[in-house]
Structure formats: structure tokens, C-alpha cells
Chain A
């Protein structure tokens, strides 16, 4: 049975923030390792960058842009919630965070295709 609070839109905002954070934390070391190839393995870096221009990888990168944007905007929503006065538009702010993130990811995808 789904617990009642999990039907609330702001619980979904919390879940999205947590999942995007975990995904970004798992991706970051890989990202850093690839960038580290620029020290003395530029040929391998070039190979990775060429591979990154294939459509499936660009789709994945679009997902990463979305995760980064949604964690940023969702995080800003949390900071506003915690440090500024309470207001009744929390659901609207959460929805705006997701909308802005979709816009960022879509804009990125339109640039690369």
C-alpha cells in the first residue's frame, strides 16, 4: 500500500531531488576520470569524446543535463523553503523547477542534434 504522504506532489519533488542527487554523485567520479585523461592520454580522451557524439550517448547526456538542472532548481526550492518565509506556492515552485529542467534538457538536445 502506498503511504498517504507519498501521493503528495511535494513528496515527488523530494524523490526527484534525491534520485537526481544520487545519480549525479555516481556519475561525477566517471566524469572526473574521463576529464583526467587530458593529462597524458589525450588520444584516449579524443576517442571518448568522439564516442560521446553518438546519438545514444547524447541522449544520455541530455538526461544528465536534466538531472543537473532538476537538482539545481529543486535545491533552490529547498533553500527558499528553509531560509525564507513560508508561502503557499510550494507546489507551483516545484512544478516550475521541473519545467525549467525539461526546458534546459530540451534546449541542449536541440543544440546537439
Chain B
């Protein structure tokens, strides 16, 4: 169901995500504390290479992590297996990556 490579990818993506999630929570707190509205947030993020790299890496890591995590859940609870399970994992990762990168371009580009 989850071989060594997927296990390592799950753990590696978790290690990458840990500081990024902490940073994202800090950004949320900063935005809320400052009472920033959507336009103010966008004015600070658009054109920022730092935000682009931060959230680009975030999206890639969360796509890998989310897809493998849901793979484990649907295998254990819905008994999906084999090619169906592989297809589900790839589709989940692709949807998260596609939507996430689009959101990244919208917020940073």
C-alpha cells in the first residue's frame, strides 16, 4: 500500500512542511493582527520573490504529503488498492499541485 519510497516522501515532505506551516501560521497572525484586508495582503505579496519561493515550496510539499496521506486513508477505510489506489494518489496530487500553483501565481505573480 505504501512502499519505502512513498513512506520516505511522506516523511520528507512533513519535515519540509513543519517550518513552512509554522511560518504560514505566523503570516496569518500577522495579517489578522494588522487588520489587513485582501487588497493590502495582495499588495505585500505580489511581486515578492520570498513569498513566491515560500508558498511555491509549500504547495509542492503539501501536494506530495496530502496525496500520500489520503492514499493511506482510502486504502485503510475504503479498501482501495492496486492501480485504482495509484490513480487516486496521482489525481489527488495533481489537483492539489495544479490548484495550489494557480493560487500561488494569483497571490504572488
Contact = CB atoms under 8 A, between A and B. Distances in A.
Interface of A: 18, 21-22, 24-25, 28-29, 31-33, 35-39, 42, 45-46, 49, 65, 68-69, 71-72, 75-76, 78-79, 82-83, 104, 107-108, 111-112
B21 A72 contact: yes
B29 A108 contact: yes
B66 A39 contact: no
Contact of B32 (A21, A79, A108): A108
5 contacts: A28-B66, A38-B38, A38-B42, A39-B109, A79-B14
Contacts of A25: 66, 69-70, 92, 96
Given A28-B66, A46-B39, A107-B29, A68 B21 contact: yes
Contact of A35 (B18, B29, B107): B107
Interface residues of B, number: 33
Contacts of B105: 39
Contacts of A111: 29, 32-33
Main secondary structure of the interface of A (DSSP, over half): helix
B1 interface: no
B51 to A, nearest CB: 12
B99 A79 contact: no
Contacts of A107: 29
B25 interface: yes
Given A18-B73, A36-B102, A107-B29, A45 B21 contact: no
Given A38-B107, A79-B15, A108-B32, A22 B38 contact: no
B2 interface: no
